[in-house]
């Protein structure tokens, strides 16, 4: 097993970001709730622990705490913000409310030990603080390593036990060189090998898939999205002709997507591909349905039933490949290797029926989106697939708010194609572009407009474009006004039934990237 770190989440908004930064240092890690069972956390055989921040105060009744087995493990610990305070509290130090809270940028002054600056902190001076409590007395065995204007112990360490704490957040971009602190803790203190690379990911996934499926045939649900494409490519590398790919045209795809996906898979993956035209089935099943979760369940149910039909025709494979990625897992439930996972119905193939006849194969389950793309490139997949816009399993159902009808889907598809065309021409989409995802949402809202001399009463469309590193958090893309104006003008003039276009400027959180 690859060397790893366990990150314990005490409720911080930055917890997933810690995992991202550690992975960027080519160190494997997983994120667990602070109170996850010991066997779950220890199943990855961690060589050290990172304790995240959190919104609570350690001295409050019912506040999260460090489980006893972590301290008894003898492994190195790095506490960040609340994690540092929890470590202090657990080891007999003192944490008190601060007379002056410390939020935002701050300067820290390093405190040398034996005339030397601790390597953990040597590249740090400007950091990002976010705390209302502070440590007033360190536990026995600790030395002060840094201080700030409001924190006498902005960093501390026990070099005998390899316990360290920092009051600031090294994981955020506002702490320059913060990733170097995380890298030093992982490689120099925990002795973790920095070998989490696309090549090692592929090797480990291939081994795992072969062990899971043996000589059995495997069915892969492919949608053309990067996750399902890379998942299928990984499984194909592992088992070759045992894999059968099924592409279902639900009638809920983007413009020309069916032809593009089929062509790309046959030319580059060289695996058996069965294309199924089921547009009428899906659209009929969605008639009169407006509730988002019900729509996703209907689409998920249809997907699985079609796969089961295809499975019967090819000898009833036991396994189904799904492009679940790590954000899906984290947002749905705590990652737990010991039992089946709840899968958020918004992702992948939608809401999966309980009586599904397949065992899932999920080779990307512990990868972030950028890692998935790096693996796809290492596998030789074309840029058109690897950098394809993320697309939810339920398709345009998720972006067609209200009832899904053939007419409304065609309207949405046409508007979305205009947006993608204009953003691509302007260099705002694709590899290296700042915009991570962009699409149109059709709203079940009609408004009055004027076209020529005629009064109109038509639907409104919303443009959603975001920037993100990991799809767990996202900010709205600051697209040029003239570009937005050009897109809106084309949509209103070229797409029948839309007379108003708005731009969504909400971040995630509080919103999600998709609207449903």
Q: Are 495 and 463 in contact (CB under 8 A)?
A: no
Residue 127 CA to residue 460 CA, distance in Å, equals 44
Q: Are 45 and 12 in contact (CB under 8 A)?
A: no
SS3 for 23-90 is HHCCCEEEEEECCCCHHHHHCCCCCCEEECCCCCCCCCCCCCCCCHHHHHCCCCEEEECHHHHHHHHH
Edge to edge, the sheet with strand 272-277 lists 272-277, 243-249, 218-222, 319-321, 359-361
Q: Is position 171 annotated as part of the catalytic site?
A: yes
Q: Among candidates 364, 126, 113, which has minimal Cα distance to 231?
A: 364
Q: Is position 481 annotated as part of the catalytic site?
A: no
Q: How many helices (H) and strands (E) does the chain have?
A: 15, 18
Mention every residue, 6+ apart, whose C-beta is less than 8 A from residue 114.
none
Which helix (DSSP H) or strand (DSSP E) does residue 502 occupy?
A: strand 498-503
Which of 81, 190, 245, 400 is an active site residue?
81
Tokens coding 26: 């080519």
Q: Tell me if the bond preceding 186 is cis, omega within 30° of 0.
A: no
Which of 169, 184, 236, 346 is an active site residue?
169
Tell me the CA distances in angstroms from 333 to 53, 102, 295, 315, 418, one per residue in order. 19, 32, 22, 34, 36
Which of 102, 171, 180, 514 is an active site residue?
171
Tell me the catalytic residues: 81, 169, 171
């Amino acid at each position: 097993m690859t060397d790893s770190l366990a990150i314990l989440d005490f409720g911080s908004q930055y917890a997933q970001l810690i995992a991202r930064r550690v992975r960027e240092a080519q160190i494997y890690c997983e994120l667990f709730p602070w109170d996850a069972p010991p066997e779950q956390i220890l199943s990855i055989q961690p060589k050290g622990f990172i304790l995240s921040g959190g919104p609570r105060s350690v001295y409050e009744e019912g506040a999260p705490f460090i489980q006893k087995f972590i301290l008894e493990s003898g492994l190195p610990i790095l506490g960040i913000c609340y994690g540092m305070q929890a470590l202090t509290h657990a080891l007999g130090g003192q944490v008190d409310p601060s007379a002056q809270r410390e939020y935002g940028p701050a300067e820290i002054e390093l405190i040398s030990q034996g005339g030397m600056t601790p390597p953990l902190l040597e590249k740090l001076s400007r950091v990002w603080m976010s705390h209302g409590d502070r440590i007033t007395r360190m536990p026995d065995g600790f030395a002060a390593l840094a201080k700030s204007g409001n924190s006498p112990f902005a960093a501390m360490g026990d070099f005998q036990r390899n316990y360290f704490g920092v009051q600031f957040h090294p994981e955020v971009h506002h702490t320059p060189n913060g990733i170097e602190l995380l890298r030093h803790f992982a490689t120099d203190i925990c002795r973790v090998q920095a070998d989490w690379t696309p090549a090692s990911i592929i090797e480990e996934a291939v081994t795992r898939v072969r062990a899971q499926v043996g000589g059995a045939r495997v069915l892969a649900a492919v949608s053309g999205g990067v996750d399902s494409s890379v998942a299928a490519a990984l499984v194909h590398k592992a088992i070759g002709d045992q894999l059968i790919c099924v592409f279902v045209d639900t009638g809920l795809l983007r413009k020309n997507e069916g032809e593009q996906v089929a062509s790309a898979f046959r030319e580059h993956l060289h695996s058996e591909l069965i294309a199924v035209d089921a547009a009428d089935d899906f659209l009929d099943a969605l008639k009169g349905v407006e509730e988002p979760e019900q729509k996703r369940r209907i689409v998920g149910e249809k997907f699985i039933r079609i796969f089961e039909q295809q499975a019967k025709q090819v000898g009833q494979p036991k396994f189904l490949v799904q492009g679940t990625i790590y954000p899906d897992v984290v947002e749905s439930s705590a990652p737990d290797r010991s039992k089946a996972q709840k899968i958020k119905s918004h992702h992948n193939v939608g809401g999966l029926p309980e009586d599904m006849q397949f065992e899932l194969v999920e080779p990307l389950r512990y990868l972030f989106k950028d890692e998935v793309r790096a693996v796809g490139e290492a596998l030789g997949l074309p840029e058109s697939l690897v950098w394809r816009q993320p697309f939810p399993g339920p398709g345009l159902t998720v972006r067609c708010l209200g009832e899904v009808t053939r007419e409304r889907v065609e309207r949405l598809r046409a508007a979305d194609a205009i947006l993608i065309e204009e953003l691509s021409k302007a260099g705002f989409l694709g590899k290296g572009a700042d915009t991570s995802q962009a699409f149109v949402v059709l709203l079940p809202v009609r408004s009055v407009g004027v076209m020529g001399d005629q009064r109109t009463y038509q639907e409104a469309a919303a443009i959603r474009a975001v920037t993100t590193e990991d799809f767990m958090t996202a900010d709205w893309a600051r697209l040029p006004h003239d570009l937005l104006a050009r897109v809106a003008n084309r949509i209103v003039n070229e797409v029948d039934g839309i007379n108003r276009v708005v731009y969504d400027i909400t971040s995630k959180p509080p919103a999600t990237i998709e609207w449903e």
